[in-house]
């Protein structure tokens, strides 16, 4: 069977203070996850070859740093671009751009941040990556919340409207194993 692994980057300094987007580095807890992830995956890599795909952002590269496997940084895996709201907290967004905040709440799937992206936009830019992944085995994707919601939603045949609400927790490896058409999902929560 074909196996694919997905994980969010470790907790970042922006996650700690609830800021959207940006290019923050990992928090100490995030670093600890990066270490635990490497220990777990290096064990696997000792038996069969793994490849790691990250985004171009620092937090995913840092999370993958100690994994002993070839790595590719892929721009299409970058987090949802929040445009004018990059770097804000959701509270600040609600204060400064109340109309935008309300629109997003009404249609999170289609809502596009001014100068930024929507979940639908992410699905569009992910198409080539998703097609490529379908032919891969033992790839570890170190990604971001919104992008991983779209990727997992795709493999698990979720409805489009469910995508923005899928649960992809921090500090957890999501393992997908395919048997024919269906993918089986396993969540591996690592102690940090
Ligand atoms: O900005 C990127 C976040 O990871 C996505 O969270 O779409 O639930 O606001 P959200």
pLDDT of residue 171: 95
Please say if the pLDDT value at position 99 is more than 90.
yes
- Residue nearest atom 6 in ligand 1 by C-alpha distance: 146
In angstroms, the CA 23 to CA 67 distance is 21
pLDDT of residue 180: 81
15 is known as an active-site residue: yes
Angle CA(58)–CA(168)–CA(18) in degrees, nearest 5?
A: 55
pLDDT in tens, 51-77: 999 999 999 999 999 999 999 999 999
Q: How far is the CA of 74 from the centre of ligand 1 (A)?
A: 19
pLDDT of residue 192: 86
79 is known as an active-site residue: yes
DSSP 8-class letter at 26: B
Query: What's the mean pLDDT in 81-99?
Result: 98
> CA nearest 124: which of 146, 150, 90, 149?
150
pLDDT in tens, 135-144: 999 999 999 9
Mutate-to-test residue for ligand 1 from 10, 20, 162, highest number of ligand atoms within 8 A of CB: 20
Mean pLDDT of the chain: 97
Mutate-to-test residue for ligand 1 from 81, 89, 145, 165, highest number of ligand atoms within 8 A of CB: 145
Query: What's the mean pLDDT in 174-189?
Result: 93
134 is known as an active-site residue: no
pLDDT of residue 157: 95
In angstroms, the CA 68 to CA 80 distance is 28
Ligand 1, residue 82: give the atom nearest the CA: 1
pLDDT in tens, 110-130: 999 999 999 999 999 999 999
Q: Are 40 and 173 in contact (CB under 8 A)?
A: yes
Query: Which candidate in 19, 104, 112, 144 is catalytic?
Result: 144
pLDDT of residue 181: 80
Q: How far is the CA of 84 from the centre of ligand 1 (A)?
A: 14
pLDDT in tens, 26-56: 999 999 999 999 999 999 999 999 999 999 9
Pocket of ligand 1 (CB under 6 A): 20-21, 79-80, 82, 144-146, 164
Q: What H or E segment, with its residue span, contains residue 177? A: strand 172-179
In angstroms, the CA 150 to CA 8 distance is 13
């Amino acid at each position: 069977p074909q196996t694919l692994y997905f994980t969010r980057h470790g907790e970042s300094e922006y996650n700690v203070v609830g800021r959207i987007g940006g290019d923050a580095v990992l928090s100490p807890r995030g670093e600890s996850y990066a270490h635990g992830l490497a220990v777990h995956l290096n064990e696997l890599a000792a038996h069969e070859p793994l490849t790691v795909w990250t985004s171009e952002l620092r937090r995913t590269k840092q999370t993958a740093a100690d994994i002993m496997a070839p790595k590719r940084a892929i721009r299409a895996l970058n987090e949802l671009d929040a445009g004018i709201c990059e770097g804000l907290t959701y509270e600040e967004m609600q204060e400064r751009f109340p109309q935008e905040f309300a629109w997003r709440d009404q249609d999170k799937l289609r809502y596009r941040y001014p100068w930024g992206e929507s979940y639908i936009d992410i699905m569009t830019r992910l198409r080539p990556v998703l097609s490529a992944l379908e032919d891969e085995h033992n790839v570890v994707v170190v990604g971001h919340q919104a992008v991983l919601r779209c990727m997992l939603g795709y493999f698990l045949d979720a409805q489009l409207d469910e995508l923005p609400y899928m649960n992809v927790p921090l500090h957890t490896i999501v393992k997908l194993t395919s048997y024919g058409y269906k993918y089986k999902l396993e969540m591996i929560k690592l102690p940090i």
